[in-house]
Amino acid sequence: MYPGYDMAPPDPRETRELRMEIEEFHAEYCWTLDCGDVERWPEYFTEDAVYRITARENADAGLPVGLVYADSRAMIRDRAFALKHTQMYAPRTLQHLVTNVRVLQVKGDAIKAQSNYLLLQTLVDGPTTIQQSGRYYDTFVRVGGRLLLRERQCIYDTVLIANDLVLPV
Amino acid sequence: MFSVNTVIHQPGSFAKEQLDESFDYKWPEGGLQYIPDWIYTSPAIYQREIKRIFHGPAWNFVALEAEIPNPGDYKRSYVGPTPVVVARDTDGSVHVFENRCAHRGAEFCRSQRGNTKEFVCPYHQWSYDLKGNLQGVPFKRGLKGEGGGMPKDFKNEEHGLLKLNVATLHGVVFASFSRELEPLDQYLGPEILKDFEVVFKDRKLKILGYYRNELPGNWKLYHENLKDPYHATLLHSFLVTFGLMVAGSKNGMIADATGRHGTLASAKPDNVAAAVGAVKSEMRSYREDFKLADGRFLEYVREFDSPWSVTMQTIWPNLIVQRELNTLGIRHIVPNGPHSQIMLWTMFGYETDDEEMTRHRLRQGNLMGPSGFLGLEDNEAIKFVQEGLRRSPSEKGVVKLGGDRVGSTNSVIDEAAIRGMYAYYRKQMGL
């Protein structure tokens, strides 16, 4: 549960088509990150988007800190540029898996949904590990027929991060 | 599956990890200009560190008072690798005791934080007050007619939790297994106290949240990293490109008289372009084409009466105090064997911050932590060092920048503070 996303959801049969559209969004979003095209990652957000990754411990206590904290698409773009061009980290491959999509609310132009995510990471000389297990709390808006994220809260259960979280979820 | 196990070889696979007390731990020739690899890889050295340093005469960080503001508040914490509980009693005093039931040893406190009237071990329900005194033992006198129970001479006061020595300074709580050590302010020393007070004195902290990560490197590497201004001006593209810390600008590496603590300090130059331009040819991580799309992130609100815009304090043996522009926090180092450390981050602002200042701190928090632009690079570099130390047959590292000098320096192209720390370490460890 996350504040603002704890409403009683509509009957899932009524939002089936929307859920499919959100699943398609996740598939494209994940592919962009998994194929290493992090500079296209900001394109999934609105100009005024809020993006935060934080531990469940913080979310449950109402603490605002983010492992990653952005309150504009420009900040997301700066992170994407840094990850692509200036940050020092070991090479790695990623797989983002997103499941259990639930449409929580459709109100005006805003759609609220939640999903579970799993981030698998493989370094050049090690086994594939679960880097992070968490849940997205998303607010989408439709811009030019396309869904964009106005808010994405990534709340992770994996309390002890394995060294660092370099690429976004 | 944590990162330490993602290395191909399991711990114990390399000769340098098999050394025991019978190995001749002789520091290499050349004084402090060389560091032997075995201080980072040997289980016997690690055990000696726990005994002589973390459980020895050192003040270990355990909590911020702002985390436990009310009577009955508590948090789980660590002294070295040892789990402890930090609790505030009804009279307001702060107590630290082992998180180990005095009866059969269960680690009884399972929540990170909370509020309670007493601690009850779930196994046999022995109960303790907020000072760690044994209060109740079920069936202490046995059953009527069947006997049993504790011997007549059993005294509760002889079976409380193991209590630690506690000292608090400006809202920061430290503890020690030792009863014989200097008062906390003397332990820090005047050189360190000065910048510590800039962050904490007469300030009410507002906790913003926590990060936790496992860093697959020896705990001393983290101290070295922050006593090593040389790396800061080379590794971190954000410091270099945006002039947050540039070689040739006003910087300082301040050590206390013993060499164990340090403050890496830097003043953001007024003319960033000129400062960076003068030295950029030496710095591969400088990026001319990197311009921030959202410049709010690196704004500096001058909120402190200090010449420094950055102070990173290493307080021996387990605390880092971070003041990087307006992002504030502490890092609590929990050693986890020779090849690993757990790092517990608490990020904070001040009670007096308005909403915009809090958001500014949160935005700037992207510099630090396990996903921070500086933080993740440090974690990667330290992991690389530990892997190199463990897996190679070579035997020592080189710390020759600045020659034999130890302690404080104005130059960032110097390793004097690392040498100073090891001069102290060798005395403590008998090496």
pLDDT tens-digit map of A130-152: 999 999 999 999 999 999 999 99
In this prediction, residue B1 has a pLDDT band, given cuts at 50, 70 and 90, of very low
Q: Does residue B273 carry a pLDDT above 90?
A: no
Question: What are the tokens at B6?
Answer: 């993602």
Q: Which residues of B touch A160 (CB under 8 A)?
A: 2, 212-214, 342
Mean pLDDT of chain B: 93
Q: Do B384 and A90 touch (CB under 8 A)?
A: yes
Strand B205-215, strand B172-176: pairing: unpaired
Q: Mind listing the pLDDT tens digit for each residue in B40-65?
A: 999 999 999 999 999 999 999 999 99
Alpha-carbon gap: A124 to the closest alpha carbon of chain B (Å): 10
Q: Is the peptide bond before B11 cis (omega within 30 degrees of 0)?
A: no
Q: Does A91 touch chain B (CB under 8 A)?
A: no
Share of chain B above pLDDT 90, in %: 79
Is there a contact between A39 and A164 (Cβ–Cβ < 8 Å)? Answer: no
Of A43-47, A59-63, A117-121, B17-21, the poorest mean pLDDT is in B17-21
Say whether residue A89 is in contact with chain B using an 8 A CB cutoff.
Answer: yes
Would you call A80 helix, strand, or coil by DSSP? Answer: helix
CA distance A142 to A149: 9
Q: Cβ–Cβ of A75/B363 closer than 8 Å?
A: yes
Chain A residues with CB inside 8 Å of B238's CB?
A: 82, 86
Interface of B with A in 214-243 (CB under 8 A): 214-216, 235, 237-238, 241
pLDDT above 80 (res B145): yes
Structure tokens at A7: 């409403």
| Rounded CA separation A68/A65 (Å) | 8
The helix/strand/coil state of B218 is coil
- Check B366 against A70: CB less than 8 A apart: yes
Task: Give the pLDDT confidence score for residue B288 in this predicted structure.
Answer: 76
B385 touches chain A (CB under 8 A): no
User: What's the maximum distance between 2 C-alpha atoms anywhere in chain B?
Assistant: 90
